Amino acid sequence: MAKLLKLRIGVSDDPSAVQPTLNECIEAMLKQTDLLLSEVLSGLVLAAAPGSAKRIPGFGEPGTRQAIQALSSQAPALKDEFQRELSRLVYEGGGKEQTHTEVRYEDLRLFEDDQLDESIEVARALQEVHIAVDDVLPPLDALVSTLLGWRTIQPGLNPLRPDVYVRALQHVLARRVPEAAVREVLIAPAAGLMGVQLRRLYKELGDWLRSCGVEPAVPVGGRLRKGSGAQGVAVVDSVARKLLTLDRLRKLLHGDFDPAAARPDFLHTMPASLNLLDEMKGGVDQLLQKLEKRRVPVADAPDAPPRDLLAERDKAVDAALPRLGAQLGEEVVRLMFENLDRDTRLLPELKQQLRSVEAAVQALSAQDSRFFSDRSHPARQFLDRITQRSLGFADASDPGWPRFLATVTQAVQALGGQPVEAYSFELLLEGLQAQWTEHDQVLLNRREEAARALLHAEQRNLLAQKLAADFAARVQGLEVPEFVGDFLRTSWAQVVAQSQLSCADGSDDPFGYRALVDDLVWSVQRSTATRGRARRLVQMIPGLLAKLREGLDHIGYPPELTARFFNNLIVIHRAAVHEGRDAVSQAEADVVEAESSVFTDSMMDAADALWLDRREAEDSGFIDESVLEPSHVASPEATLREDEAQAPVRSGEMRTGTWVELKVKDQWLRAQLTWASPHGTLFMFTSQAGTAHSMSKRTMERLLAEGHIKVVAERNVVDEALDQVAQAALKNSLGGAPAA
């Protein structure tokens, strides 16, 4: 790779003169895939050699040895396939075909066996690669984030991240090694060999970028956590017993551990039932004879009744499965509450109440397995609602927190005296909702009022876009001052759009604002020298100016811009009325026409940003991008998890209900995305106090990039806690724990 990446070192060299692009980095890495796969294949062959010092015991099996030989013999085709798949993943991100490297609890029951095996394979391979690249990957992520245009490190956006290589390797092995058992033996050693080579390539790429003057991005929170690639939530000791695995967890979600009486389908007795049906085909007498043979008398008790071994076997199975299911369910609930207790977004007082609820949830889940598989289960809903609502408070001193905590405490205390059943949680949730309704209704009324203003603004701006295109076409090729053309495309398009929307009868031009455009354009054209033009201008200018002022007042146009526009327009009209005979007025007109237009800066193009009038902005707490100061501010670390690398969120990816930390006027506040416009051009956040903060899509993208908006929670807190349980099960599965 040294031939491809030329280090720029020396006093006479200016490292920043020619900085590399991200595409050049990608191309340089892709050119190394041939060498990368060669080293991996050579390592596998060496590990399978009988007399090799690097021999791996598992590679001695005939099937594994044959698979390695086949891979080695197909090296050219394998390398070509790996490079194609790697290129696709790097440039396209894998799309919907991404493998399940992140296992989610709710998705687990939808997994087929091959998907489950694939997730374990990829996770095992990622584990090996991260061990190898853990020290060189974070610095490279910082440099690549800079090339991507980010100020903060975004590991999830690095197109050359390790999981892309792992998924390409898994894809190739899945096609070339169809036997799952053999592939399971090969994936980890192959990934380990690839990790060694990736470490070298990552280091060389990082050295090259630094030598070319690329500055690393700033870490979120202000410090770089080395070794973050292999870090995760530690698995507690009890999980190390290998009780919790992906396969067992999936069975728990399907209810496979429920007692026979609780399962209407009796799947566990199906094989025996099918055997009896087959035997019945041979005749009833033959069936009775076989059943009689199954009755074996006890040797030391001649008079004892015969034993039915078939029934005893079924009873043993029925007794074993629920016992394992109860242990597994208890472990899942305990881990879920431990994850909630570690969640830094939840305040300590709420965690104390959750610990008081744990015993009741344990008792309920032991007798009702729907808790694990049904998100609408009353107990799940109870936990969801109180944890999600608590995210609206960043600190115990926030207004409304004591009242909220009192309602939760009262519900938890009532639960202690109730029989533990789903109906108890349902009643408690109804009681909580009734206490929250009054406060929520006030907030809802405010949100609806602000949303109506924003919706109207979006409709007006979308209509103004079409009108702006029409007005631009009208002045094309005409000698019209620049400020007049910009005024028509931006400000006057808003005026005409507002008049059309406010007209109940659907008239195209109820106030004559659209027809006025032709008169305005004619009045400022230099090339217009028709006879009697001065007399006509004298007659039309007073009405034209009055109509223009009326339209601008109709949308609450800024007074300072109104004054500037009319001053310039009057100068142009004065020169036109004198028909060039007044040298002073003509010189003033020439100066005005030569000035740069200010209207594109103040009333930006509708395609790029949205404009709200004063009332709309006040009702919705609109944050205008023009008042923002470019600066990088990290969200308070206390409100975000430091042990998780957060992927950046785009405005289009943020869903309503998402809680964020939002910086407004140098103050951080906790707010929830409560509304997004139908066309995705306007967004509104609302705090627990009911204060609305709205912004355009472009403003939101900028605030996200600058660290002024930080996502606190996109999904339910309980769902995330259960996802961590699934990740713990995945870690145990990597250890080869047997399935139930």
Q: Which domain holds residue 497?
A: 448-602
Tell whether 182 is covered by a domain: yes
The enclosing domain of 665 has a CATH number of 2.30.30
Tell whether 15 is covered by a domain: no
Same domain, 40 and 131: yes
Please give the pLDDT value at position 382.
Answer: 95
- Let me know: does 405 contact 350? Beta carbons within 8 Å: yes
Same domain, 373 and 258: yes
User: At 160, is the pLDDT very low, low, confident or very high (cuts 50, 70, 90)?
Assistant: very high
Tell whether 614 is covered by a domain: no
Phi and psi at residue 670, in whole multiples of 5°?
Answer: -90, 125
Please give the pLDDT value at position 277.
Answer: 39
Long-range Cβ pairs for the range 182-187 (8 Å, 24+): 182/61, 182/63, 182/64, 182/67, 183/67, 183/121, 184/117, 184/120, 184/121, 185/58, 185/59, 185/61, 185/64, 186/44, 186/64, 186/67, 186/68, 187/121, 187/124, 187/125
Structure tokens at 131: 């061990």
Q: Provide the β-strand partners of residue 695.
A: 683
Same domain, 456 and 409: no
Same domain, 256 and 331: yes
Element spanning 307, H or E: strand 307-308
Nearest 5°: the CA angle 161, 162, 164 is 75
Tell whether 727 is covered by a domain: no
Q: Is the pLDDT of residue 15 over 60?
A: no
Q: Could you report the per-residue pLDDT of 532-554, keeping only the tens digit for each?
A: 788 888 999 999 999 999 999 88
Tell whether 610 is covered by a domain: no
User: For the chain, how many structural domains are there in total?
Assistant: 4
Q: Is the pLDDT of residue 6 over 90?
A: no
Domain boundary among 568, 602, 636: 602
* DSSP string for residues in 425-470: HHHHHHHHHHHHHHHHHHHHHHHHHHHHHHHHHHHHHHHHHHHHHH
Domain boundary among 206, 231, 256: 231
User: At 390, is the pLDDT very low, low, confident or very high (cuts 50, 70, 90)?
Assistant: very high
Taking Cα atoms as reference points, which of 372, 350, 352, 351 lies closest to residue 361? 372
Tell whether 352 is covered by a domain: yes
Separation between Cα atoms, residue 194 and residue 169, nearest integer Å: 9
523 by DSSP, 3-state: which?
helix
Tell whether 442 is covered by a domain: no
Same domain, 71 and 170: yes
The DSSP letter of residue 306 is P
Same domain, 186 and 38: yes
Q: Provide the β-strand partners of residue 672.
A: 659, 686
Matching residue, tokens 């956040």:
685
Q: Is the pLDDT of residue 240 over 50?
A: no
Measured distance between the N- and C-terminal CA atoms of the chain, rounded to whole angstroms: 48
Same domain, 41 and 182: yes
Structure tokens at 412: 């938890």
Please give the pLDDT value at position 309.
Answer: 42
Structure tokens at 167: 């998924």
Mean pLDDT check: name the lowest of 73-82, 462-471, 522-531, 634-643: 634-643
Nearest 5°: the CA angle 318, 321, 325 is 140
522 by DSSP, 3-state: which?
helix
CA atoms within 13 A on the CB side of 401: 16
Same domain, 394 and 486: no
Structure tokens at 723: 């996802």
Same domain, 127 and 174: yes
Separation between Cα atoms, residue 325 and residue 335, nearest integer Å: 15
Q: Could you report the per-residue pLDDT of 589-629, keeping only the tens digit for each?
A: 888 888 877 665 444 444 445 778 788 888 888 887 766 65
Mean pLDDT check: name the lowest of 344-358, 550-564, 658-672: 550-564
Tell whether 435 is covered by a domain: no
Q: Could you report the per-residue pLDDT of 655-711, keeping only the tens digit for each?
A: 888 999 998 888 888 999 999 988 888 999 998 888 889 988 888 888 888 888 999
Same domain, 335 and 460: no
Separation between Cα atoms, residue 176 and residue 445, nearest integer Å: 61
Please give the pLDDT value at position 713.
Answer: 86
Domain boundary among 553, 572, 602: 602
Taking Cα atoms as reference points, which of 225, 253, 332, 256 lies closest to residue 724? 332
Position with higher pLDDT, 664 vs 335: 335
Q: Could you report the per-residue pLDDT of 53-110, keeping only the tens digit for each?
A: 778 877 878 888 888 989 999 999 999 999 999 999 998 764 334 444 567 777 666 6
Matching residue, tokens 């979006």:
458
Position with higher pLDDT, 49 vs 248: 49
User: At 113, is the pLDDT very low, low, confident or very high (cuts 50, 70, 90)?
Assistant: low
Q: Is the pLDDT of residue 238 over 50?
A: no
Q: Cα–chain-centroid distance for residue 189?
A: 32
Phi and psi at residue 154, in whole multiples of 5°?
Answer: -125, 85
Structure tokens at 407: 């309602």
Q: Provide the β-strand partners of residue 670.
A: 661
- Let me know: does 561 contact 548? Beta carbons within 8 Å: no
Same domain, 187 and 278: no
Separation between Cα atoms, residue 660 and residue 710, nearest integer Å: 5
Same domain, 590 and 625: no
Separation between Cα atoms, residue 517 and residue 508, nearest integer Å: 14
- Let me know: does 243 contact 328? Beta carbons within 8 Å: yes
